[in-house]
Amino acid sequence: MTNAGLRRADLANAVIPVFLAAMKMRLLAAALITALAAPAAAHTSYLKPNQFWSNGIVRFEGAYATTFFTPEIGLSANFAVVQPNGADGFYDQVEVTGQAAMLRSTLHDYGTYRFTTGEQVGAVSNLVGIDGGWRPAVPGELLPPETPTTTLQSVTLAETYVTRGGPTRGAVDRNIGRLSIRPVTHPNQILVNQPFQVQILFDGQPLANTALVVYASGEPETDLDRFSPTDASGTATVTLDQSGQYMLAARHRATAPAGAAAAIQSYTTTLTFDVMTTMPAIEEPPVQERPRRRRF
């Protein structure tokens, strides 16, 4: 082979992997846009604390929104708390209004707490298959007899983590929901310009080749520019260059489990977290004094 031929071969070897990677990213983005276009996905739920590191009382805002974190519709959910040891906890106060749910919880123990809405199912939509895609059925419309039909229902789950003292994994590693975001990097230890990882699980198994979208505060849910694909182990790696509050969103459609109200369910799971410039000082738990023996 001539030198010119070698140069062309080297150029092809360099360009083809880049081209294939770019095509893969475009396909992932297209799949994500298709998921977002579901008739049941008009808003995205989030659960946001007023602080991610606390020495006592934490307040939360839970809402559906189209721009984050601007509440539009209040969440009326099965709010739950997972304590640092993995056991169930509780909220001190839950108040739901038309625009947002306002919650309060006291962190009595030291470690990382998980705050969750649990899975929330939405209304059932009737869909018709037209030109290889699906659209909402129009009441009273006449369709050819062979037109495929199905039913769709949204399932949403919103979560966040708050730490008192040092970070722990008991609440982080507990699986909640059919579509789950499992932080590999501790969710309260994410730093600017430092890559962190999360694993996406569906029915407890890694969900490969799916796009995980990252939203910054003030961004609309239709902004899909910042996303990371999952690998064969369902793991995505994200690096953010600005501090602040963010939300990860995972979306997936699947056949509904037996007994569900619809044939297909559209899942959206979100995780709200904070990106810091430096790690906060860790509050040490108080030293427990041994009870003194009484002398007789």
| pLDDT over 60 at 112, yes or no | yes
Domain of 180 in residue numbering reads as 37-275
In a domain, 240, yes or no: yes
Pairing of strands 149-164, 73-74: unpaired
Output the pLDDT for position 67. Answer: 96
CA neighbor of 134 nearest in space, from 256, 4, 253, 280: 253
* Encoded tokens for 191: 């730093």
Output the pLDDT for position 126. Answer: 93
| pLDDT over 80 at 66, yes or no | yes
Asked if 117 and 156 count as a contact pair (C-beta separation under 8 A), the reply is: yes
In a domain, 148, yes or no: yes
Output the pLDDT for position 188. Answer: 98
pLDDT one-digit tens code per residue, 117-155? 999 999 999 999 988 888 999 988 888 989 999 999 999
Question: In the 3-class helix/strand/coil scheme, how is 1-49 assigned residue by residue?
Answer: CCHHHHHHHHHHHHHHHHHHHHHHHHHHHHHHHHHHCCCCCCCEEEEEE
In a domain, 59, yes or no: yes
In a domain, 10, yes or no: no
Residue 248 CA neighbour count, 13 Å, CB half = 31
- Indicate the number of domains in the chain: 1
Burial 243-269 (b: 16+ CB within 10 A, else e): eebbbbbbbbbeebeeeeebebbbbbb
In a domain, 294, yes or no: no
| pLDDT over 80 at 291, yes or no | no
Within 10 angstroms of residue 30's Cβ, the number of other Cβ atoms is: 12
AA identity, residue 94: V
In a domain, 281, yes or no: no
pLDDT one-digit tens code per residue, 72-87? 999 988 999 999 999 9
| pLDDT over 60 at 28, yes or no | no
Query: pLDDT class for 36, splitting at 50, 70, 90?
Result: very low
pLDDT one-digit tens code per residue, 169-224? 999 999 999 999 999 999 999 999 999 999 999 999 999 999 999 999 999 999 99
In a domain, 210, yes or no: yes
CA neighbor of 268 nearest in space, from 197, 188, 228, 213: 213
Q: What is the DSSP letter of 190?
A: -
CA neighbor of 29 nearest in space, from 228, 276, 207: 228
In a domain, 14, yes or no: no
Q: Is the pTM of this model over 0.85?
A: no
Helix (H) or strand (E) holding 244: strand 244-255
Pairing of strands 57-65, 73-74: antiparallel
Q: What is the DSSP letter of 56?
A: S
| pLDDT over 60 at 225, yes or no | yes
